[in-house]
Amino acid sequence: MNTFVALDVGGTSMKGGLVAADGTVLLAESRSTGRERGPDAVVTAVGDFAAELAGRAGNPPVAAGVAVPGIVDEAAGTAVYSANLGWRDTPLRALLEARLGMPVGLGHDVRTGGLGEAAHGAGRGRGDFLFVPLGTGIAAAMIINGSPYPGATGAGGEIGHMVVRPGGEACACGQAGCLEVYSSASALPRRYGDASLRTEDVLARAAAGDPVAARVWEEALDALADALTAATMLLDPSLVVLGGGLAGSGERLTVPLAGRLAARFTFREPPPLALAELGAQAAMHGAAILAARALTGSNV
């Protein structure tokens, strides 16, 4: 069975592993991106980590897959823009293929996570669905026919910047009232008034009867229900898979959210909700699939 090198590159750290063609994770480790040394050094660090992993495999890997943040042009193999890593029109796929001497597939982090959930997680066998990681920010991967749909320019899936509260609170993106301002994992402590807390602390206080925490949590659920309703009107997904840090809340998230969706949907049924199954390894699993596709010459 083929073995692939699979990397999920984040802002400060990157996860990497060896993954078999059936999705079995043979090895998984983490490294720093070393972004303080500049964008070229990050490319070198990614290549070094991939080469190190390849060298440790019993069965030599035949291809590599790499998921990166920011704006990604999968077809061109380019990291178009990454605020955190400093990349701008970086031909990452070609650079890594030259470094590793094997085919490389490049993908957007959230879309690649959705691809992982589609193949081995909560979206298995569910056709077209929406994967929505609720982390520091909020984005979505639209899975259509088993693959993430990037939009015309690779900038699709920005559900976190859909305005759900016109004239609402300012967002870092320049708009006001974006979903992300109310419902991201970082929004809860900030809106509660104590950014040093963790999201789960705010939820615990809400459950314990703290009225401010309860209001913040209810507003997060309301905004998320509004955004998922709007997205469903347009996209009609068969399922919504919730991931990211907030999905760790489990039924404390899905039960009240499903209730709000049921109340909002008037002329059709809401899509069912599911929790992501692969957690922090979703994008690594997806990267292994990108590797497999790179081997057969399919870019996306």
Binding residues for a copy of itself (CB under 8 A): 127-129, 140, 142, 144, 149-159, 161-166, 173-175, 226, 229-231, 233-238, 264, 266-268, 271
Nearer to a copy of itself, 1 or 234 (CB): 234
Nearest residue (CB) to a copy of itself, 209 versus 297: 297
For residues 74 and 200, give the distance between their C-alpha atoms in angstroms, rounded to a whole number: 35
CB of 295 to a copy of itself, least distance (A): 23
| Cβ closest to a copy of itself, residue 27 vs residue 300 | 300
Both tokens assigned to 208: 């314990």
Q: What's the CA gap between 292 and 81, in Å, rounded?
A: 25
- CB 231 to a copy of itself: min, Å: 6
Instruction: Give 24 or 238: the residue with its C-beta nearer to a copy of itself.
Output: 238
Specify whether the backbone of 270 is left (phi greater than 0), alpha (psi in -120 to 50) or beta.
beta
Closer to a copy of itself by Cβ: residue 26 or 149? 149
Q: CA-CA distance, 153 to 84, in Å (whole number)?
A: 20
Q: Which is nearer to a copy of itself, 127 or 250 (CB)?
A: 127
Strand order in the sheet with 13-20: 25-32, 13-20, 3-9, 63-68, 104-108
- To a copy of itself, the closest distance from the beta carbon of 18 in angstroms equals 33
CB of 86 to a copy of itself, least distance (A): 17
How far, CA to CA in Å, does 233 sit from each of 142, 207, 222, 260, 271?
A: 14, 32, 17, 15, 10
